[in-house]
């Protein structure tokens, strides 16, 4: 299902009203970046492309595009993944 900006704004406001994280209410990916060397992502729907310089991750409503050097997918299960390496860019693509 494609989400337009109006729907995303509504979900963000609803999360604020109920004091819930937006990723829980709107099925958005939850991203944690630790320095420039590790990224944790919950709520993914698979890897779209993978190399040591770029990784594209299906985040459902967003594609999470990582760029860097020596990128390595070190752990992955059905909903979470971990990437290590020198991360120089995190881009969210609609």
Other beta carbons within 10 angstroms of residue 49's beta carbon come to: 10
State how many domains the chain has.
1
Q: Report if residue 82 sits inside a domain.
A: yes
Against a cut of 0.85, is the pTM above it? no
| pLDDT 10s digits, 70-86 | 999 999 999 899 999 99
Other beta carbons within 10 angstroms of residue 70's beta carbon come to: 11
Q: Report if residue 33 sits inside a domain.
A: yes
Q: Structural domain of residue 52, as residue ranges?
A: 29-93
| pLDDT 10s digits, 5-21 | 676 677 667 667 766 65
């Amino acid at each position: 299902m494609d989400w337009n900006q109006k729907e995303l704004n509504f979900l963000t406001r609803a999360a604020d009203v109920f004091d819930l994280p937006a990723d829980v209410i709107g099925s958005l990916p939850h991203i944690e970046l630790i320095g420039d060397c590790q990224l944790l992502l919950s709520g993914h729907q698979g890897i779209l492309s993978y190399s040591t310089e770029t990784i594209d991750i299906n985040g459902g409503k967003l594609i999470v595009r990582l760029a860097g050097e020596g990128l390595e997918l070190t752990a992955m299960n059905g909903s979470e993944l971990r990437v290590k390496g020198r991360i120089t860019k995190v881009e969210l693509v609609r």
